[in-house]
Chain A
């Protein structure tokens, strides 16, 4: 650390503690946990996208050697409670979903029966023997078709497939449109994608008949909320259910909800009185886990002749699929709320419609609001195009700088401690935008189509309880942590968030080490076990750093406070004011300098636990703290992505010779881990824009069930990325943390699309939908080149 840096261990690029077990094959993922007598589960899934279930004949499957049980919704729905998704949100239709469907299936892959056998091979054999008689129904696989009156209903209990519809207006957009120099319209279509964690979903349910207790080993990002839902649907108390999350091979939002398969396996373990496990295979994961995105956005921007934004209207649609495992408005609403992000505009209105279709249900995927920045920046590019202005000039005229803050957006959210203008300028300078434009002109003379895309992002990171309340979403944004110093001086800490690969054990040990004044190497972080961890809201969005790390930091500071009070008492001082812990040793401030005393944290801990008569009067023995923390309504990070592409107009292939990021993500617990998140998020965004696509045909058949069909960006296609930092701390959070890890997805989508459009501008084409495949590029260029 530099001299004068505010922290000793926060901000150090320490290598990760987690790595040793992963590098040596000693990680412990769900499949690696073995309980004697475990049975294996395989689901029978619907081949139809929409069909009535007339009958299910399990007799032949039941008789197969090795088969323990075959069950359908008839039994499972008696053992479990249905999911009622009915938060009190205006315009949202409540939905109720049985654990397994008994009347009809709603998408190809819907589970209708479940085979339990002594191994997975046998379970798959038996699943083939389950005979289901279906009566196919009309299928609706397109959201705009679904919203028509005549469309077949996906959920018969709803009044229509329009499961959610919300509007908002601030100011008078219509008046501004009338007054404007012109109104620029643009459209953006993102396509269906899926999370694709390298480890698929799964669960190992262990029923303890003697204690009447259910232990669930499951890869999940939010163990306590998961336990609450699971207990409710199992008709048990939370005290009767333990959730233990082992190492998780990626989540990206797919591992939050209680899925129907997991609930079925838990119910089966209790029914059969033996451990039961299910590990999803890749075919299931791609077709029946959870999908994401598939939005259509239309903007209308009122601008003056200089491209200054006067008003903005957003029309947004999302294809939510067949079921609602999350409130249907959850993802699209955030897009609408933060759309204007880095730009000044007060007259803003949105209209958000969510439709059900006969496809796998949607859920939050890393950056649920992923499309946001592309929509906003694409609108900026459209303004520049229509007015014949440089896209950077248009941004400069509208972007918020530090001087504009705090800035209350039209939606009522207040932005502070961000610096969009400064970040963009630093990016443009590092990229040398002017030189690029000269190079671009030269190259075009030689038939080389080079372009640059700029995407400014304001990333909503940590959602506090006040945000939930204001947005009408039930739930809390607080987090909880404990820090314990054991009698020997060993330090343990836990929080309710759960890692799925991010490196929490390392980053959090730095937060605790900083707060307590010890070497982070001596902090053991214990996450994921609901019997050990305090009740917290889990990992979602980008809350790990601020909610998780921030709460641990505060808890550790509290423990340090108590330790120093004990130290003062032991040293015969009246106050602990001039004491601190550094690297586990009590230091005293005297003669303008800190110097070590002979007292260590271990000495203090021994007294706290084993010699309590030496504690200050009235102090409880022990040395531990439980601390809850509710972050501000919202914290924001901001960043710019600048992407250079070269488009081969003959093949439609896109090469990314340069990719630059400037980011302000506040105080970093560990910059190495932050960089890992920036890189991973960016490639995920590029992958989604250029490669990934869940494809359904008009009959609702999923055509992308394997990894040879659902393409993700591989190393040969991924660009090298440069990252610059322009971080400023958040003044309202512990240690100035903000959180990050989703903005990269948002930035990449907008930057690469903008770059392609810039490159091909001489050919007078605009790409407004994804994925940008070579074939799609050629499709538009075909008449021109």
Chain B
């Protein structure tokens, strides 16, 4: 299990990277943290002729906050997101989700941008990006464009990224101070690919009814997806057991999950329902000031 041959490039600026990507086109592959790409290369399931390692480009790493949004450079590793105090304060679902990724050694090297660009249907970041309507900042020699996560992540291992483009950062809205949230996942072992993941943000109106809800499911289709109808209809409803059962049922019947060695489609549907209830409960508890 040794990777095939490639030519290695380590540009130190975005412009240099654009030049290389423009030159080699489909023959080039961007190397971010490599925690998904290199195993595939070792198995010779991926064999790019040119590797463009973007680790030396300084502006791709880091976390910043401007009051309403947090911006995370695409080369920021999962471990740095887990540890970022600003995220723990302003968007705690991000560090919580990051803890579910692989193991320590993987989190120390794998990056958020790499994960989203890889678009593994079981991965955490695509799901969180879609949940929060994150903006994907994509740059190339032709300029910068911004794509919403749900549009960026098109299908399994497929994203809206031209061969000469680089995902440079991800922009997430911060959560409101009174906004509850939850991230629930079931996998066989710690750090394994998720079977089903459910993420929720939820705010309650002063009367205790739901003011706004985001609900995103992973593992139930080729990409994570939001239950937009459920979210819309939730506004004004009381977050009681009946409503939760209803939402859980809709979660279970959503998407088009596949059976594989680790879980059947039926099991995924059951877990979608189960985790949805858990996630809603946790989020509501957090809204009400509990720590979930």
Contacts and interface: CB of A to CB of B under 8 A. Distances in A.
- Please tell me whether chains A and B touch each other in their complex, using a CB distance cut-off of 8 A: yes
Interface of A: 120-121, 124-125, 128, 281-283, 650-653, 691, 693, 695, 703-704, 706, 708-709, 711, 713-714, 716-717, 773-775, 778-779, 782
Q: What does DSSP make chain B's interface, helix, strand, loop or mixed?
A: loop
A652 B271 CA distance: 10
Contacts of A779: 264, 266-267
A709 B1 CA distance: 16
Contacts of B267: 652, 774-775, 778-779
A714 B102 CA distance: 13
Nearest to A121: B2
A716 B187 CA distance: 12
A416 B161 CA distance: 72
A128 B266 CA distance: 39
Contact of A716 (B2, B5, B190, B262): B190
B261 interface: yes
B5 A695 contact: no
B43 A651 contact: no
Range, interface on chain B: 20 to 34
A121 B4 CA distance: 8
B263 interface: yes
B43 A283 contact: yes
Given A708-B192, A711-B189, A775 B274 contact: no
A37 to B, nearest CB: 20
The 5 nearest A-B residue pairs measured at CB: A716-B190, A281-B1, A775-B267, A121-B2, A714-B189
A711 B260 CA distance: 14
Given A120-B2, A125-B4, A709 B261 contact: yes
19 contacts: A121-B2, A121-B3, A124-B44, A651-B274, A652-B267, A695-B261, A703-B261, A706-B43, A708-B193, A714-B190, A716-B190, A774-B263, A775-B262, A775-B263, A775-B264, A778-B267, A779-B264, A779-B266, A782-B270
Contacts of B43: 283, 706
A600 to B, nearest CB: 52
B139 to A, nearest CB: 33
Nearest to A42: B2
Scoring A120, A651, A703, A775 by chain B CB atoms within 10 A of each residue's CB, the highest score goes to A775
A693 B260 CA distance: 13
Contacts of B191: 714
B147 interface: no
A651, A704, A716, A779: residue with the most chain B Cβ atoms closer than 10 Å? A651
Interface string B32-56: 0000000000011000000000000
Nearest to B263: A775
Given A281-B1, A283-B1, A775-B267, A651 B261 contact: no
A470 B261 CA distance: 43
B235 to A, nearest CB: 29
Nearest to A713: B189
Contact of B270 (A120, A128, A778): A778
Contact of B186 (A120, A651, A691, A709): A651
B42 to A, nearest CB: 9
Given A124-B2, A651-B274, A704 B261 contact: yes
Interface in B160-204: 186, 188-193
B188 A691 contact: yes
B4 to A, nearest CB: 7
A282 B1 contact: yes
